[in-house]
């Protein structure tokens, strides 16, 4: 699960808008789908060799899967002066078109409560986001996977009173994952370690917005121009898989609950890199230590949100998520790629 220019991916959208977007995506990608038809049966989840790459809360995982993240809930204080208590309830639906190509839809409902009681709060939906992802490379021997794609934030589909932009933003993306199961025997205790990462370049469809008004003191007309920067969205995770430790390194005889855990730390950062005269170039974001509990058909995750500087927030926040593996829940129905054979059901706890 991913967080791009906004803190979380977006989930709520009315049914008509959702169906229209799916129709446009299918029409525009019809020719590409034919060229990408898989030649062999795929696997549920993003399993590369013995490595299972789970969905993470801060950045998107490198896989292409049929998944549902609902709900994802967070709470934190923004870096505004005075700060604002922000809570988000969001989710994302991901659907494979072929074994290697998929599309996801998401949205967020945001609650803003200023700490200054004289400032009114606001609630509303963020913009709908759509992400197209293609798995470019997969090396089971070295537990390495790479995907590329495009994330689109549809301007005007959310409420401007909670910060949703009235214009589209296009973000070319790259994701990767690498497990360390290929380390020599003397480093066997490090084999459960994996890293994932993403890099995106957010390009607003509008370079600036000019707001016209009247100076209350002089009565003269005023014009205020805000530049919309191009932003580098980047992040990474480091994970230690207890299921991998048990199944591929050594069974320590731990209680079963611990054999389902993946402790991890995520970094989710944004750096304005162009058109920055009014925004500056300061990097903002959070470092998120936490843990995932991995089941056969779903996973649970919780992480702290630690701001990297004052502009990123004023207190430690929290984020939690319930995530469903649709390709295991219904491998021949909603979990089957639209084009291609049914997936081969695979337990993430048995091959991790």
3-state secondary structure of 118: coil
* pLDDT score at 229: 97
**Tokens coding 19:** 């169906």
Residue, of 281 and 28, whose pLDDT is higher = 281
Q: Is residue 138 over pLDDT 80?
A: yes
Q: Quick one: the chain helix, strand, coil %, rounded to 5?
A: 15, 45, 40
CA distance 343 to 352: 18
Residue 46's pLDDT band (boundaries 50, 70, 90)? confident
* Least confident residue range of 20-24, 72-76, 205-209, 243-247: 20-24
Q: Which residue's structure tokens are 């995530």?
A: 323
Residue 346's pLDDT band (boundaries 50, 70, 90)? low
Residue 247: phi, psi to the nearest 5? -85, -30
This prediction's pTM:
0.84
* pLDDT score at 99: 93
CA distance 96 to 133: 9
Inter-residue contact 270 to 231 (CB < 8 Å): yes
Q: Is residue 21 over pLDDT 50?
A: no
Q: Where are the alpha helices (DSSP H) in 133-241?
A: none
pLDDT digits (tens, 9 = 90+) for 161-174: 999 999 999 999 99
* pLDDT score at 12: 39
* pLDDT score at 173: 98
* pLDDT score at 18: 39
3-state secondary structure of 174: strand
* Least confident residue range of 29-43, 112-126, 146-160, 234-248: 29-43
CA distance 259 to 35: 40
Residue 347's pLDDT band (boundaries 50, 70, 90)? low
**How many beta carbons lie within 10 A of that of residue 250, not counting itself?**
12
Q: Is residue 44 over pLDDT 70?
A: no
Inter-residue contact 79 to 72 (CB < 8 Å): no
* pLDDT score at 218: 81
3-state secondary structure of 246: helix
Q: Is residue 41 over pLDDT 50?
A: no
Q: Which residue's structure tokens are 């998107």?
A: 60
CA distance 238 to 248: 18
Domains for the chain: give ranges and CATH numbers: 15-329 (2.40.160.40)
pLDDT digits (tens, 9 = 90+) for 175-197: 999 999 999 999 999 999 999 99
Q: Is residue 241 over pLDDT 70?
A: yes
């Amino acid at each position: 699960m991913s967080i791009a220019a906004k803190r979380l991916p977006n989930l709520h959208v009315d049914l008509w808008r959702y169906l229209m977007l799916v129709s446009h995506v299918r029409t525009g990608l019809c020719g590409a789908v034919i060229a990408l038809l898989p030649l062999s049966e795929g696997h549920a989840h993003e399993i590369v060799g013995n490595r299972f790459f789970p969905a993470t809360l801060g950045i998107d995982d490198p896989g292409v899967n049929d998944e549902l993240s609902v709900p994802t809930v967070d709470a934190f204080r923004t870096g505004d002066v005075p700060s604002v208590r922000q809570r988000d309830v969001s989710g994302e639906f991901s659907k494979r078109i072929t074994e290697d190509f998929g599309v996801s839809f998401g949205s967020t409902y945001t609650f803003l409560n200023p700490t200054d009681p004289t400032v009114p709060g606001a609630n509303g939906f963020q913009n709908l986001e759509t992400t197209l992802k293609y798995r470019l490379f997969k090396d089971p021997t070295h537990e390495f996977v790479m995907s590329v794609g495009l994330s689109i934030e549809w301007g005007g589909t959310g409420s401007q009173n909670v910060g949703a932009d009235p214009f589209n933003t296009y973000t070319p993306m790259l994701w990767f994952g690498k497990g360390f199961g290929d380390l020599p025997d003397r480093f066997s205790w490090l084999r459960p370690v994996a890293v994932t990462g993403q890099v995106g370049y957010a390009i607003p469809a509008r370079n600036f917005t000019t707001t016209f008004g009247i100076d209350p003191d002089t009565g003269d007309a005023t014009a205020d121009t805000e530049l919309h920067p191009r932003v580098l969205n980047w992040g990474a995770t480091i994970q230690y898989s207890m299921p991998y430790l048990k199944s591929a390194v050594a069974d320590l005889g731990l209680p079963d609950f611990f054999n389902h855990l993946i402790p991890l730390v995520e970094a989710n950062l944004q750096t304005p890199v162009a058109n920055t005269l009014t925004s500056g170039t300061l990097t903002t974001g959070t470092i998120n230590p936490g843990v995932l509990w991995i089941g056969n058909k779903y996973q649970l995750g919780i992480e702290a949100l630690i701001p990297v500087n004052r502009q990123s927030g004023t207190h430690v926040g929290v984020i939690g998520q319930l995530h469903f593996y649709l390709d295991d829940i219904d491998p021949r129905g909603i979990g089957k790629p639209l084009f291609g054979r049914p997936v081969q059901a695979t337990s993430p706890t048995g091959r991790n």
